[in-house]
Structure 1
Amino acid sequence: MMSKPTGTDWKRLAKADDAHIDTSDVPELGDDFFEQAELHLPPKQAVTMRLDADVLSWFKEQGAGYQTRINKLLRAYMLAHQRRALK
């Protein structure tokens, strides 16, 4: 899915040093904000997936949370391709 162009110079921003970003119009978040903040994670969906036995075995050998690690790797792959599509 291709996003509409925003007019933002993403390449220039990617090269910019954070110290040069003007955040003067962004208020600081106080304790009240964090006391009331709620974490909303994307919903998970159970799937049946066929993986090569050695790949699955390697992830399981890394210990508990192997499904979460696989999900994080797939998300990183997805985001990289989405960024590439925006360029």
Structure 2
Amino acid sequence: MPELDRQFWKTAKMVKPVSQEATLIQLDRDILDWFKSKGKGYESLIKSALCSYIEHNSLL
């Protein structure tokens, strides 16, 4: 990865994360078990899968 020089910082923009809201959803046990089997951060993996689905189905 190249070193970040002054030019980089001249044009850099801060990107704030999209706000999140806690919610409760019901998932089939086998689906939840699969995501949990991927290890720590499985909730983020579920979110990524849902975001990918939306992006690929032009639902945004």
Place the TM-score, normalised by the shorter chain, in its bin: 0.7 to 0.9
| Number of the residue aligned with 1:51 | 27
Aligned identity (percent) is 26
Map 1:1-87 → 2, pairs under 5 A: 30-33=7-10, 37-82=13-58
TM-score (norm 1): 0.53
Structure 1: segments with no counterpart, 5+ residues: 1-29
Stretches of 4+ moved more than 6 A in 1?
none
Distance 2:54 2:8 in 1: 34
Q: Distance in 2 between matches of 1:33 and 1:47?
A: 39
Q: How much has 1:49 moved relative to structure 2?
A: 0.4
Query: Per-residue deviation at 1:71?
Result: 0.5
Normalising by structure 2, we get a TM-score of 0.73
CA RMSD of aligned residues (A): 2.3
Residues 1:39 and 1:61: Cα distance change in structure 2 (over 3 Å): same
CA distance in 1, matches of 2:10, 2:48: 28
Q: Which has the larger radius of gyration?
A: 1
Q: Structure 2: give runs of 5+ residues left out of the alignment.
A: 1-6
